[in-house]
Amino acid sequence: MSGSRFLTPPRPSRRDVLRFGAQAAMFATIASQVDFTRPAYAGEAKLTGPLNVLAWAGYNDPELMRGFTELTGVELNIKEAESNGAQLSLVQAGTTKFDVINPDAVWTSKFAAAGLTLPIDTAKLPSLDETLPAFRNRPETMFDGKVYAIPTRFGVNGFVYWPDKISAASAADAELAWDPALKNRIEIIDWPELYLWMTGKWIGQAKPEDATGEALQKILDKMMAFRPNMRALQADMGTVKSDLTNREAWMVWGSSSDNVRTTARLAGADVELSIPKQGGAMWMETLQIVRGTEHLASAMAYLDYMTSAKAMKQMA
């Protein structure tokens, strides 16, 4: 998961983030009730390929790819996406004819309005019944009253920090990012929409995504005030994870915080994740079908496979 990635539901609150976190934890219970012997794809349509997929890191997992090919006979060519904007540019350029893309949910309307993606008949995706109800037919995945995107992975953005350097009480307040005691100690990634949005919410703007003029300037001024505390603006998540693990950074803001914490802890770093009392932000990836694909049935089969409990378990 690299590059600029941004997703939040409307007006996220700490309660919203905790609620969705609880639903994520509940996935284990739901998964335990699913028949994992059921084929992840059991369609009857003639499938063609290979299928060209533009996706975030993780979708090119060999076992995950092999599972789809073994079930369908269709080979996958997966190119790793650098950002949402890069995905849009690559599809528009048409140099490579992608069949399926993987932008964040909030980019759904941009792709659909540009005529780059197709509406999806969810009735032809039986595996959706195995996904969490909260992630079916979300407003962010729809355009003009039709579903254009199918959610796959999701997570939260807040603060990941070393508790021996930063107290839990301090991490519960968004103003921590501007604390002079953290000069040159906080890392972020090149994900401007996320930081502008979160900063706008934290200074009290109801819809920072619509900010212009004076409202936008207030967000920019607040971000400029953060500059002394920024140790580095990294191009990818890998670097912020390693710098946090190595204690070169005391805190990482955003950058898919749940993923940062998990990776750091697996590396032996006893870091904590906090969602400030002022609110957090969620990210949600989706799969979308590119208009003009010559392998529509295979693209639908891939979406059905990737939303099956079997594939979702592998992704997790």
For residues 136 and 202, membership in a common domain is answered with no
CATH code, 167: 3.40.190.10
User: Does 206 lie in the same domain as 149?
Assistant: no
Judge if 135 and 21 occupy the same domain.
yes
Is 2 inside a domain boundary?
no
Q: Is residue 7 part of a domain?
A: no
User: 95, 64, 82, 73: which is closest to 4 by C-alpha?
Assistant: 82
Residue with tokens 């400030």: 276
**Is residue 251 within 8 Å of 166, Cβ to Cβ?**
yes
Note whether residue 109 is domain-resident: yes
Q: Given this model, what pLDDT does residue 5 score?
A: 43
Residue 5 lies in a domain: no
Please indicate, yes or no, whether residues 33 and 137 belong to a single structural domain of this protein. Answer: yes
Residues 235 and 295 in one domain: no
Show the domain range for 290.
14-155+283-315
Q: What is the pLDDT of residues 17-76, one digit of tens each?
A: 444 444 455 455 545 555 556 666 666 778 999 999 999 988 999 999 999 999 999 999
User: Rounded to whole angstroms, how far apart are CA atoms 169 and 176?
Assistant: 10
Q: Which residues pair with 151 in a beta bridge?
A: 286
Residue 106: the pLDDT is 87
Same domain flag for 228 and 260: yes
**Dihedrals phi, psi of 158, to nearest 5 degrees:** -155, -130
Report if residue 88 sits inside a domain. Answer: yes
179, 303: one domain? no
Q: Is residue 297 in a domain?
A: yes
Could you tell me which of 22, 295, 305, 289 has the C-alpha nearest to residue 154? 22
Residues 21 and 151 in one domain: yes
48 assigned to some structural domain: yes
pLDDT of amino acid 28 = 52
Q: Name 159's bridge partners.
A: 253, 274
75 and 164 belong to one structural domain: no
- The confidence score (pLDDT) of residue 4 equals 39
Sheet containing 272-274: which strands, arranged edge to edge?
230-234, 186-189, 251-253, 159-161, 272-274
CA separation for the pair 38, 47 (Å, rounded): 19
167-197: burial string, b at 16+ Cβ within 10 Å, e else:
eeebbbebebbbeeebeebbbbbbbebbbbb
Q: Where are the alpha helices (DSSP H) in the chain?
A: 14-32, 62-72, 84-93, 108-113, 168-171, 192-202, 213-226, 237-245, 257-266, 296-306, 309-315
Q: Write out the chain's pLDDT in tens, 316 residues.
A: 333 344 443 444 443 444 444 445 545 554 555 555 666 666 677 899 999 999 998 899 999 999 999 999 999 999 998 888 889 999 999 999 999 999 999 899 999 999 999 999 999 999 998 888 888 888 999 999 999 999 998 889 999 999 999 999 999 999 999 999 999 999 999 888 899 999 999 999 999 989 999 999 999 999 999 999 999 999 878 899 999 999 999 999 999 899 899 999 999 999 999 999 999 998 899 999 999 999 999 999 999 999 998 898 888 7
Within a domain: residue 3? no
| Predicted model pTM | 0.76
Give how many domains the chain has, as a whole number: 2
User: Do 261 and 174 lie in a common domain?
Assistant: yes
Res 136: pLDDT: 84
252 and 110 share one domain: no
Residues 43 and 59 in one domain: yes
